[in-house]
Amino acid sequence: MKTFKKLLASALVVGMLAGCSSSEPAGSGSAAPAGDDAKTYNVGVAIYDYNDAFMTLYRNEIESYFAERAGKDGVQYNIKMVDGKNDQGEQGNQIDTFIAQKMDVVILNLAMTSSADTVIQKLVDAGIPVVLINREPKEGDVDEAYPGIVDNPTVCYVGADARQSGTIQGEIIVNLENHGDVNGDGVVNYIMIQGQKENSDAQYRTEYSIKALTDAGIKVNNLYSDPQLGDWKRDLGAQISDNALAQFGNDLEVIFCNNDDMACGAATSIEKYGRKVGEDIYLVGVDAIQDAVDLIAQGKMTGTVLNDHIGQSHTAVDVAIDLLNGKEIKNYYWVDYLPVTE
């Protein structure tokens, strides 16, 4: 298991690799910033919800990395970023506006992946290339095969394989001396706080975290028979954990959260109920947002998984710029997850 220092080093390398993955030669960073007469590209960036903690890191990095690339490329990238407010109707209108404004490229974090076809088709018909990010549209369980992506040479997806994050999360628990079985009765009693229902990250993390335990021969028991949806949000993570701790008491041994913001909520609840992470309960998330990393350092969370927003945002921007330059692109671009524990 990587230490946090090692993780930071790796994250830096991942970020640097992503930064270097464009077809641009590695610059010295001394390229002159674009002047007034520099060519200007209009870039639309549609984010599903500004309130999402991870996507806030991601979107801020998109902006700063475009600024960095503008300096190196000697052109101007005019970024128009919009908040879909977790509403596909709202985002649909924003896409219509991008089309009316004749954007040169669109980076798209779908509000609902079930609307992918409609939105992609609109943009393709308008001749606008698309870089889908973070929310992978899927048809069944088939990998790298979404028709709207593979059938359109100017549409691609940049993301991370959520199965990997689930597996790493599960392995954090498997690697504990007691494998999460606090009371030693041979079964790990857990709850799973999930993101959003139709989201493939949520589905895969839910499935693969537990699969890592069962693959290691560990018996598990989900204390809830119904899905517990926390909508990626901290307050709902706390609320679901409050209910579970009140209902199941010491029987609850592991809280799996599909992301860190919900895990931060769960951590508050664990403290409120007088339980101690690492002693009588375990808690894992995904993303490695700063609050979670701090909680891990304080021993209030067991671990998380780095969802590399730097690597992903830089790759998305590099590919968008390749599209602006008429370069051929791949259908899918993947950035690795990494474990984070103390």
- Single out the residue of 307, 313, 315, 341 in contact with ligand GAL (rule: CB under 6 A): 307
Binding mask 274-293 for ligand GAL (x = CB under 6 A): ------------xx------
State the alpha helices, DSSP H only, in the chain.
4-20, 53-73, 88-100, 116-125, 147-150, 162-174, 200-215, 234-248, 260-272, 290-297, 309-324
Subset of residues 179 to 198 that bind ligand GAL, contact rule: CB under 6 A: 195
Radius of gyration of the chain (CA): 21
Q: How far is the CB of 25 from ligand GAL (least distance, A)?
A: 31
Taking the complex as a whole, the smallest distance from the CB of residue 185 to ligand GAL amounts, in Å, to: 32
- DSSP label at 330? -
Q: Which residues within the stretch 87-126 sit at the binding site for ligand GAL (CB under 6 A)?
A: none
Closest approach, Cβ 198 to ligand GAL, in A, equals: 10
d(CA 62, CA 295): 27
Q: Does 259 bind ligand GAL (CB under 6 A)?
A: yes
Total residues binding ligand GAL (CB under 6 A)? 13
Question: Please, are residues 62 and 26 in contact by the beta-carbon 8 Å criterion?
Answer: no
Among 61, 73, 136, 201, binds ligand GAL (CB under 6 A): 201
Instruction: Figure out which of the listed residues 42, 76, 134, 206 binds ligand GAL, where binding follows CB under 6 A.
Output: 134
Alpha carbons 286 and 163: distance in angstroms, whole number: 12
User: Dihedral (C-alpha) 241, 247, 253, 254: value to the nearest 10 degrees?
Assistant: -30
Residue 249 CB, shortest distance to ligand GAL, in Å, is 29
User: Applying CB under 6 A, does 55 fall inside the site for ligand GAL?
Assistant: yes
Return the residue matching tokens 């493939």: 200
- Residue number, 181 or 308, with CB nearest to ligand GAL: 308
CA gap 288, 160 in Å, rounded:
14
Q: Does 256 bind ligand GAL (CB under 6 A)?
A: no
- Residue closest to 242 by CA, chosen among 221, 225, 262: 262
CB of 307 to ligand GAL, least distance (A): 5
Exposed, middle or buried, 142 (CB in 10 Å: 0-12/13-18/19+)?
exposed
Q: How far is the CB of 274 from ligand GAL (least distance, A)?
A: 28
- Under the binding rule (CB under 6 A), the answer on residue 313 touching ligand GAL is no
Select from 47-55, 68-76, 210-218, 296-304 the region that touches ligand GAL (CB under 6 A).
47-55
Query: CA-to-CA distance for 183 and 314, rounded, in angstroms?
Result: 45
- Our CB check for ligand GAL shows the closer of 267 and 321 to be 267
Distances (CA, A) of 98 to 4, 78, 127, 134, 288: 41, 13, 12, 20, 32
Nearer to ligand GAL, 76 or 199 (CB): 199
Q: Does 232 bind ligand GAL (CB under 6 A)?
A: yes
Interacting residues toward ligand GAL by CB under 6 A: 52, 54-55, 134-135, 195, 199, 201, 232, 259, 286-287, 307
